[in-house]
A and B are shown apart, each in its own frame.
Chain A
Amino acid sequence: MSNKQKIDPKLEALLDELRDVPVRDPRRAAQGRAQFLSQAVSVRTQTVSRNPLRRLNGWFDKYKQPKEKKGMTTFASIMTVLALLLGGGAGTVYASQESMPNEMLYPVKIASEEFRLNMAGDSVEEFALMLEFAQRRGDEIETMMGAGVEPTAENMLQLAQQTQMAAQLAGTLDGAAQLQAQNMIQNQMQRMLNLQENASEEGAILMEQTRAALQMQFMLAGGAGPGQEQDQGQEQGQEQEPGQGQGQGGPSEEDQGQSQGEPQGQGPADGSGQPETVPGAGNADETGEQFQNQGEDPCAAYYASLAQGASQENGGSNGKKGNSGNSGQGSQGESQGPVVYGLNGEVCVPPTVAP
């Protein structure tokens, strides 16, 4: 039944002209979809209850503090192992190791990885395992891309999160082990960059957002991301005097503020007339703000650590771990070590070494 009220034909003709709308820009449509999926992933990781198969970013919390072995947990772990080994599950677990994210045995693979992590004896082993699993995620995504299957947002997120957790674990290591671990993380991040380049537009946007967050976190831990090396190293590669603020570069170079442009502060469907925060307007999150409003030389901490190293006259300038975590990788590598970045991702060029 037509429930349309009788309408003046002239008026109907006028309204008809609004019926057809121009073709939507497919690029903007894809961007909008990617943005939504990214927000969905972000919301899910912040909100979901503890599901070990999905709540990957909860893993790190277990490792920040010394593990307390609880009786029942240990017992349950042992029983699980026995059940898997003796109950015919071993074959399943073994078979699952080659499974892909869209396959039935994949959850078994993830569960077995978590089990191995739980059984890790020390932080070195935990780091090695976490990195191995992050590399597996990269392998899986590469394989999927090779087979023409587009990785899902979840796949991308797992890769980013596990790399992130490996980076955090690397920060807990000591001395040379930490440096070595950080180099391995850099390689992993470089791989993420490659995957991003080969991903679909939607996937690339997702990867960029997660990778930017990862870079920020890695920088906090005193490391340097490969993307920065490529993107910024050449732009700011000129010599600069230590101690003089360069007054440029940071915030606009690295759009961390908008990378997680999750709308905030609006009630749903309330029509309240509150000022709107248009998505994409770059609501800098707190982390982004923290780094953008620094008026001081972003490399100051790095230079300070250099000066301290020189004053102590300890010969080679190696071996100073980032004390506050923000100063890049200490003074190691003046001659050939990794590039050191300041707070905003600038390349901190060491001064000509004074005798």
Chain B
Amino acid sequence: MNEAKLIQRARRLEGQALAEIYDAHNEAIYRYALRLLGDESLAEDCVSETFARFLKVLSKGKGPREHLQAYLFRIAHNWITDFYRRPAPETRPIDDELGLAGDDDPARAAFENMQSRRTRAALAALTPDQRAVITLKYLEGWRNAEIAAILDKPIGAIKSLQHRALAALKRILLDEDNEQ
């Protein structure tokens, strides 16, 4: 299988293989991080750190033998989880940063609007695993089995996480609306 060979070459630290892996996955990880973090700079940091950690693992002769994408997303997921665990999350000037360039980008406008921020805040209120399940499933379109590989949990646990996450989101987002 191509991926298996690619991973083998990456484990030998072949530059071409590493570049291929980066090119194949960095965009998806960036999108994933941006959706969860809501900050382009942090998303770039997440990508950098994800691949730096990946390299570090490879340099120790370890690393994945299969499911490369799941492995990389797991690193990114852990980085984001760590970010949310930090005692005093920085208040990023999202408005200023995002408003600097590309004001004519409709995707940016949608990304910035109040409702999107509210939805992201609701996602942030979920547990890390719940957040990953919702993001990967409903925004990235992944299957339960793939998500299970990332989170290293059985598929049944993924379904359960999904159920609880949706219930929590509904409570946070929709019930609030009803109350108002």
Which chain A residues have a beta carbon within 8 Å of chain B's beta carbons? Answer: 3-5, 7-8, 10-12, 14-15, 17-25, 28-29, 32-33, 35-37, 39-41, 43-44, 46-48, 152-154, 262-263, 266, 268-274, 276, 278-280
A276's partner among B44, B49, B71 (CB-CB below 8 A) is B49
Answer whether A17 and B53 are a contact pair too, CB < 8 Å, given A28-B44, A41-B15. Answer: no
Cβ–Cβ contact B107 & A18, under 8 A: no
Q: A residues within 8 A CB of B74? A: 269
Cβ–Cβ contact B15 & A152, under 8 A: yes
Cβ–Cβ contact B102 & A15, under 8 A: no
Q: What's the minimum C-beta distance from A288 to chain B, rounded to whole angstroms?
A: 18
Q: What's the minimum C-beta distance from B72 to chain A, rounded to whole angstroms?
A: 9
Cβ–Cβ contact A262 & B52, under 8 A: yes
Q: A residues within 8 A CB of B170? A: 8, 11
Q: Nearest residue in A to B134 (C-beta to C-beta)?
A: A15
Q: What's the minimum C-beta distance from B48 to chain A, rounded to whole angstroms?
A: 4
Q: A residues within 8 A CB of B105? A: 22-23
Q: What's the minimum C-beta distance from A165 to chain B, rounded to whole angstroms?
A: 20
Q: B residues within 8 A CB of A18? A: 35, 111, 116, 119-120, 123, 139
Q: A residues within 8 A CB of B23? A: 33
Q: A residues within 8 A CB of B134? A: 15
Inter-chain CB contacts under 8 Å: number: 161
Which chain B residues have a beta carbon within 8 Å of chain A's beta carbons? Answer: 13, 15-16, 18-19, 22-23, 26-27, 30-31, 34-35, 40, 44-45, 47-49, 51-59, 62, 71, 74-75, 77-79, 81-83, 85-86, 98, 101-102, 105, 107-108, 110-111, 113, 115-116, 119-120, 123, 128, 134, 137-139, 143-144, 159, 162-163, 166, 169-170, 173-174
Q: A residues within 8 A CB of B45? A: 278-280
A-B contact pairs, 26 of them (CB 8 A): A3-B144, A5-B166, A10-B174, A14-B169, A18-B123, A22-B102, A22-B111, A23-B107, A23-B108, A24-B40, A29-B30, A29-B44, A36-B48, A37-B15, A37-B19, A40-B19, A43-B13, A48-B13, A152-B15, A152-B16, A154-B15, A263-B48, A266-B53, A269-B74, A269-B75, A278-B49
5 closest A-B pairs by beta carbon, nearest first, are A271-B78, A22-B108, A279-B48, A20-B107, A268-B53
A11 to B113, alpha carbons, bound, how many Å? 16
Q: B residues within 8 A CB of A263? A: 48-49, 52-53, 56
Cβ–Cβ contact B115 & A17, under 8 A: yes
A266 to B60, alpha carbons, bound, how many Å? 13
Cβ–Cβ contact B31 & A21, under 8 A: yes
Q: Nearest residue in B to A28 (C-beta to C-beta)?
A: B44
Q: B residues within 8 A CB of A14? A: 115, 119, 169, 173
A129 to B79, alpha carbons, bound, how many Å? 47
A60 to B37, alpha carbons, bound, how many Å? 47
Q: Nearest residue in A to B18 (C-beta to C-beta)?
A: A40
Q: B residues within 8 A CB of A19? A: 139
Q: B residues within 8 A CB of A270? A: 78
Q: A residues within 8 A CB of B58? A: 43
Answer whether A24 and B27 are a contact pair too, CB < 8 Å, given A14-B173, A32-B44, A36-B51. Answer: yes
B82's partner among A5, A47, A274 (CB-CB below 8 A) is A274
Q: Nearest residue in B to A281 (C-beta to C-beta)?
A: B45
A262 to B48, alpha carbons, bound, how many Å? 10
A3 to B162, alpha carbons, bound, how many Å? 11
Answer whether A25 and B110 are a contact pair too, CB < 8 Å, given A4-B138, A5-B163, A14-B173. Answer: no
Q: A residues within 8 A CB of B102? A: 22-23
Q: A residues within 8 A CB of B86? A: 276
Q: B residues within 8 A CB of A39? A: 51-52, 55
